[in-house]
Amino acid sequence: MKPYPKKTLGIYSLTCCEGCQFEILKDYDDFSQLLKYYDVRNFRLGQEENLPGPFDVSLVEGTPESKEEYTLLREIRKTSAIVIVIGSCAHLGGIQSERNSLPKKMTLAKDVVSIPEVINTDFIVPGCPISHKELFAFLMDIYWNKVPTLHDLAVCFECRQNENQCLLKEGKPCLGPITRGGCDSICVNGGEACYGCRGATDQADFAKMKEILKPIISDEDSTNMMTIYGDYECEWKRRTDEGK
- The verdict on residue 229 lying in a domain is yes
The letter for the amino acid at 1 is M
Q: How far apart are CA 30 and CA 132, in angstroms?
A: 8
Q: Which domain holds residue 187?
A: 155-241
Can you give the pTM of this predicted structure? 0.90
167 and 118 within one domain: no
Measured in degrees and rounded to the nearest 5, phi and psi for residue 7 equal -85, 150
Look up the CATH number of the domain holding residue 81.
3.40.50.700
Quote the Cα angle for 149-150-154, to 5°. 145
For residues 176 and 131, membership in a common domain is answered with no
The closest alpha carbon to 90, from 66, 117, 72, 57, belongs to 117
Tell me if 150 is assigned to some domain.
no
What is the distance between the alpha carbons of residues 10 and 39, in angstroms, rounded to a whole number?
9
Same domain, 109 and 159: no
pLDDT in tens, 13-60: 999 999 999 999 999 999 999 999 999 999 999 999 999 989 999 999
Let me know whether 202 and 87 are in one domain: no
Would 134 be classed as within a structural domain? Answer: yes
- Flag whether pLDDT at 103 surpasses 90: no
CB 230 within 8 A of CB 92: yes
pLDDT of residue 104: 66
User: What's the helix, strand, coil split of the chain in %, to 5?
Assistant: 40, 15, 45
pLDDT level of residue 242 (50, 70, 90 thresholds): low
Same domain? 166 vs 132: no
Instruction: Give me the pLDDT at residue 18, please.
Output: 94
Q: 81, 110, 143 — which closes off a domain?
A: 143
Residue 148 domain-assigned?
Answer: no
Read off the amino acid at residue 78: K
Tell me, rounded to whole angstroms, the distance of Cα 193 from its chain centroid: 18
- Report d(CA 112, CA 95) in Å as an integer: 10
Overall number of domains in the chain: 2
pLDDT-derived band of residue 152, with 50, 70 and 90 as boundaries? confident
